[in-house]
């Protein structure tokens, strides 16, 4: 099974909230310099799913990322985990990429990769939270798509996919080629060994320019209504916490129960 995985580099979503500020000039959230750039966590679930499928039925895994030079780190991580090839599609920092343009650029890159059976994406990016790109890429390529996938198994040249429903799960049989957006329920991404990380770190990740994949943003930009962000702001919780204390923690626990009763919460 030939699998393409799309990954994105994002500011570490686990970084402390205090490390993020609003830049007054641009009105956009800016992570401080101490916030690392990491692989979007859901995308690593997608890489892990690809590796498990390859382990089961064989095949080849190609990982793609649209982003500036720094995105190579995410691709190297995927290679260290077990991906066979990685390509960065070169975009410059500061360029405005909405999900429509990103999906169409990745569609062009997928066509350049050539033959594939399955494309895996994370269910959403930790920075934009949009959750549009995967489904959009499938629409752009005209292939079937299952979003919020929590399990995938190869079945007689097709795949059986479970997706997360509002209650329980829904199971589908899907003909290939197809695209899945992968949810964290699917697996726990493996940690590559130090040896593999070092080996992958030494690799040169090839990059394709937008011209090389035959993508012209200008040609597309008028064809998509889209939205424009005007500003970011940080919501502040306005509650004041009443700390309940006691001689012992047990006593504090009992006092809390009494406070809740007094407030008619219980």
Partner 1 sequence: MDISAGVMIFAETAEGKLSSITKELMGLGTRLAGKLEKGLSAVLLGAGTEPLATELVNLGADAVYLADDAFLENYNPEQYASVIEHVIQTAKPAILLMGQTSRGADMAPRLAFKFRGALAMDCVELDADSETGLLTHTRPVYGGIAMARARSRAASLQVVTVRAKSQDPAEPADDREGEIIAVGERARGEYAGGMKFLRPVAVEADEVNLEEANIIVAGGRGVGSTENFKRFIEGFARILGGVPGASRGALDSDFAPANLQIGLTGKIVSPQLYVAIGISGMVQHMTGCSSSKTIVGINTDPDASIFKYAHFGIVGDFEQVVPALMQKCEELLKN
According to CB under 8 A, which residues from 25 to 84 bind partner 1? Answer: 29
- Reading the block at residue 104, the tokens are 């169409």
> Toward partner 1, which CB reaches closer, 43 or 162?
162
Q: Which of 115, 218, 237, 247 binds partner 1 (CB under 8 A)?
A: 237
- Does residue 254 bind partner 1 (CB under 8 A)? yes
Say how far apart CA 266 and CA 258 lie, in whole Å: 9
Query: Cβ 86 to partner 1, closest distance in Å?
Result: 26
**Strand 169-174, strand 28-31: pairing:** unpaired
- One residue of 25, 156, 241, 247 binding partner 1 per CB under 8 A: 241
Q: Using CB under 8 A, which of 69, 173, 212, 216 touches partner 1?
A: 173
> Which H or E run contains 163?
strand 158-164
Strand partners, 2: 60
Q: Binder to partner 1 among 147, 152, 192, 208 (CB under 8 A)?
A: 147
Query: Residue 163: is it exposed, middle or buried by C-beta count within 10 angstroms (0-12/13-18/19+)?
Result: buried
CB of 206 to partner 1, least distance (A): 29
> Footprint of partner 1 on residues 121-140 (CB under 8 A)?
123-124, 126-132, 135-136, 139-140
φ, ψ of residue 47 to 5 degrees: the values are: -65, -45
3-class SS of residue 68:
coil
23 makes contact with partner 1 (CB under 8 A): no
Select 23 or 69, whichever has its Cβ closest to partner 1. Answer: 23
| Residue 216 makes contact with partner 1 by CB under 8 A | no
Shortest distance in whole angstroms from residue 79 CB to partner 1: 24
* Run of H or E residues at 4: strand 2-6
Asked whether position 235 contacts partner 1 by CB under 8 A, the answer is yes
Instruction: List binders of partner 1 among 195-214 (CB under 8 A).
Output: none
Q: Which of 211, 49, 68 is nearest to 121 (CA)?
A: 49
Applying CB under 8 A, the span of 49-57, 88-96, 198-206, 236-244 interacting with partner 1 comes to: 236-244
Q: By CB under 8 A, name the one of 17, 115, 156, 219 that touches partner 1.
A: 17
Residue pair 19/50 in contact (Cβ under 8 Å)? The answer is: no
Q: In whole angstroms, what is the distance from residue 30 CA to residue 264 CA?
A: 42
Residues pairing with 38 in the sheet: 10
């Amino acid at each position: 099974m030939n699998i393409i995985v799309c990954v994105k580099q994002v500011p570490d979503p686990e970084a402390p909230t205090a490390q993020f500020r609003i830049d007054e000039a641009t009105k956009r959230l800016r992570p401080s310099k101490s916030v690392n750039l990491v692989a979007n966590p859901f995308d690593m679930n997608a890489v892990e799913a690809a590796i498990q499928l390859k382990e089961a039925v064989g095949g080849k895994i190609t990982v793609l990322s649209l982003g500036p030079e720094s995105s190579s780190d995410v691709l190297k991580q995927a290679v260290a985990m077990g991906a066979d090839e990685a390509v960065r599609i070169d975009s410059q920092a500061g360029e405005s990429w909405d999900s429509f343009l990103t999906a169409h650029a990745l569609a062009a890159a997928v066509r350049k990769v050539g033959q594939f059976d399955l494309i895996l994406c994370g269910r959403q990016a930790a920075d934009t939270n949009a959750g549009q790109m995967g489904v959009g890429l499938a629409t752009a390529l005209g292939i079937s798509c299952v979003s919020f996938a929590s399990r995938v198994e190869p079945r007689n040249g097709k795949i059986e996919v479970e997706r997360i429903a509002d209650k329980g799960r829904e199971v589908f049989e899907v003909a290939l080629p197809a695209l899945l957006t992968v949810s964290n329920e699917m697996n726990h991404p493996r940690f590559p060994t130090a040896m593999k990380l070092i080996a992958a770190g030494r690799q040169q990740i090839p990059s394709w320019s937008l011209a090389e994949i035959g993508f012209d943003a200008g040609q597309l930009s008028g064809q998509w209504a889209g939205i424009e962000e005007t500003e970011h702001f940080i919501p502040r919780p306005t509650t004041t916490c009443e700390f309940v204390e006691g001689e012992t923690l047990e006593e504090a626990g009992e006092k809390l129960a009494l406070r809740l009763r007094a407030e008619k919460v219980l």
